[in-house]
A and B are shown apart, each in its own frame.
Chain A
């Protein structure tokens, strides 16, 4: 669902692509997301695998950033304890808009194996920061994380910048007709 798909033969007419400003901005944003280099627990090891040879996360156009000020999205990879929750909230607030969050693994989604007796574990990171994409698994495979990344990209592709209300209704229709 990129900008190029809108035209039948984008390269035949001299490489000129016509589109709305919104489309171009979204296209640029979704293809060059920088993420906050940040790992919490077991899922972070799979996240490291994803950055390494076999899976090569960087082909999505992303670069790890060590500071939240330069990051576009954050991946919560692991168990969020109450002590760490405060810091994650601070990190999230330090990030510049527009910002996105991917919750990776069942611990970050809902508390996971620590849901029942984990007196010290936050039951889902969505209780403190908004989450855009959830990736299930304990830990998820690197392929699953890549799928999550692609979902985030398609989400950014169709986000509304100018005509928010109309765009929202359009997206809802797409979701209803199972096209998204």
Chain B
């Protein structure tokens, strides 16, 4: 037996230079074109500075030059993973300015589409989070299912990713005849895959070791930074705009708000944020099933579309529960057919601002996992 010689050095007293490392803008795990300026002490992250603006597409300036309907395609391109959810607050905000009421059928189709897109978004989020943690197989399963959802979108709207489907006062076109059966089949398939993913990824020992107790975001910090969506709910705060101030027809459905409870680690760690997304998929399935059951078969989806959108002078702020958090649009109208100003309150931008706070003191490899758990989209951050 060899005896190990123990060095009598207090490693914490050795002073080393901090290393500055640039991650991105071309890096596979920055989820787009984000640059992280990381300050490292050995392998431990001491500070992170996110540099943004590599995908600035001047949404707000373009909105000043377009009339109200023409802004909708640009709203699509903000958070391009969940376009339907983006269109919803903008369209409702303009309808509020106009004082419009849309037909029942339109409301139901909007809710079904938004919830389907929420499922698609969370599937991407979980898949890429798995990739960041080193699991490739769930990516293939989840993208297979997402493709089925995109087929429904394609049949109904003509687009796979960017739709321009919700119009001010109605929809671009009615859904196709077998829409209900298709959606119910999707819900069945999504539930089946969710079970697979729970076995493959969520309760996998390696995955738990990578994500539990990492990037802990306490509830008070989350609230102070203005986090919303799964970031906030992962920290144990049951705040969901669909319940807190129900818009559209969300008050008619029975669903729960999943929150992080710290089942395998601490409340508010990366695993909690991910499990909230998993459970929200299930809740979205419940909403879709109820909406399909209640949805009226007849009705003209274009009956309330105004010929000319020219809202009276005024301003409106309307917020919706996007898959990533609270997406709000602040619109000022000066009585013309073009908005005077459109400001978007992007959830990803606010959620990203908490990254330096929650990644200090963790290893560099954990930083990638923490960033993955925030679920950012650069199109929305830079706008």
Q: Flag if A87 contacts B25 (CB, 8 Å).
A: yes
Distance to closest chain B CB from A104 (angstroms): 13
Considering the chains assembled together, what is the distance between the CA atoms of A84 and B379 in angstroms?
13
Q: Which residues of chain A are near B80, meaning CB under 8 Å? A: 41-42, 45
Q: Flag if B144 contacts A113 (CB, 8 Å).
A: no
Q: Flag if A113 contacts B73 (CB, 8 Å).
A: yes
Q: Flag if B160 contacts A46 (CB, 8 Å).
A: yes
Interface status of B207 (Cβ within 8 A of chain A): no
Number of A-B contacts (CB under 8 A): 94
Interface status of B124 (Cβ within 8 A of chain A): yes
Distance to closest chain B CB from A158 (angstroms): 31
Q: Which of A77-116 contact B (CB under 8 A)?
A: 78-79, 81, 83-84, 87, 91, 113-114, 116
Q: Flag if A81 contacts B25 (CB, 8 Å).
A: no
Say which residue of A49, A68, A79 sits within 8 Å of B55 (CB atoms): A79
Considering the chains assembled together, what is the distance between the CA atoms of A89 and B33 in angstroms?
15
Interface status of B203 (Cβ within 8 A of chain A): no
- Please classify how large the interface on chain B is, using the bins under 10, 10 to 19, 20 to 34, 35 or more: 20 to 34
Interface status of A54 (Cβ within 8 A of chain B): yes
Say which residue of A39, A46, A113 sits within 8 Å of B32 (CB atoms): A39
Q: Flag if B61 contacts A117 (CB, 8 Å).
A: yes
Q: Flag if A119 contacts B161 (CB, 8 Å).
A: no
Q: Which residues of chain B are near A114, meaning CB under 8 Å? A: 57-58, 62
Knowing A42-B80, A53-B144, say if A119 contacts B26 (CB, 8 Å).
no
Q: Flag if A38 contacts B61 (CB, 8 Å).
A: no
Interface status of B56 (Cβ within 8 A of chain A): yes
Q: Which residues of chain B are near A53, meaning CB under 8 Å? A: 140-141, 143-144, 147
- Please classify how large the interface on chain A is, using the bins under 10, 10 to 19, 20 to 34, 35 or more: 35 or more
Q: Which residues of chain B are near A138, meaning CB under 8 Å? A: 162
Q: Flag if A119 contacts B53 (CB, 8 Å).
A: no
Q: Which residues of chain A are near B161, meaning CB under 8 Å? A: 42, 45-46, 139
Q: Mark A6-38, 1 if CB is under 8 A from B, else 0.
A: 000000000000000000000000000000111
Q: Flag if B143 contacts A78 (CB, 8 Å).
A: no
Interface status of B318 (Cβ within 8 A of chain A): no
Considering the chains assembled together, what is the distance between the CA atoms of A114 and B382 in angstroms?
14
Chain A: which residue is nearest B141 at the CB level? A53
Q: Flag if A81 contacts B62 (CB, 8 Å).
A: no
Chain B: which residue is nearest A141 at the CB level? B160
Interface status of A52 (Cβ within 8 A of chain B): yes
Knowing A53-B144, A54-B147, A113-B73, say if A40 contacts B62 (CB, 8 Å).
no
Considering the chains assembled together, what is the distance between the CA atoms of A177 and B147 in angstroms?
40
Chain B: which residue is nearest A55 at the CB level? B147
Distance to closest chain B CB from A119 (angstroms): 6
Distance to closest chain A CB from B51 (angstroms): 10
Considering the chains assembled together, what is the distance between the CA atoms of A140 and B58 in angstroms?
22
Q: Which residues of chain A are near B74, meaning CB under 8 Å? A: 113
Chain B: which residue is nearest A107 at the CB level? B57
Interface status of B28 (Cβ within 8 A of chain A): yes
Distance to closest chain B CB from A167 (angstroms): 34
Q: Which residues of chain B are near A38, meaning CB under 8 Å? A: 26
Considering the chains assembled together, what is the distance between the CA atoms of A87 and B143 in angstroms?
30
Q: Which residues of chain B are near A40, meaning CB under 8 Å? A: 32-33, 55
Considering the chains assembled together, what is the distance between the CA atoms of A139 and B65 in angstroms?
23
Say which residue of A44, A49, A66, A117 sits within 8 Å of B65 (CB atoms): A117
Distance to closest chain A CB from B89 (angstroms): 19
Known: A120-B56, A141-B160. 13 other contacts (CB 8 A): A41-B378, A42-B77, A42-B161, A44-B32, A45-B80, A46-B160, A52-B147, A53-B141, A54-B147, A113-B77, A117-B61, A117-B65, A119-B58
Could you list 28 A-B pairs, sorted by A, with CB under 8 Å?
Answer: A38-B26, A39-B32, A41-B77, A41-B379, A48-B124, A52-B139, A52-B140, A53-B141, A53-B143, A54-B143, A54-B144, A66-B27, A78-B55, A81-B53, A81-B54, A81-B55, A83-B53, A83-B54, A84-B55, A91-B26, A113-B77, A114-B62, A117-B58, A117-B65, A118-B57, A119-B61, A138-B162, A139-B162
- Interfacial residues, chain B to chain A (CB-CB below 8 A): 25-28, 32-33, 53-58, 61-62, 65, 73-74, 77, 80-81, 124, 139-141, 143-144, 146-147, 150, 160-162, 378-379
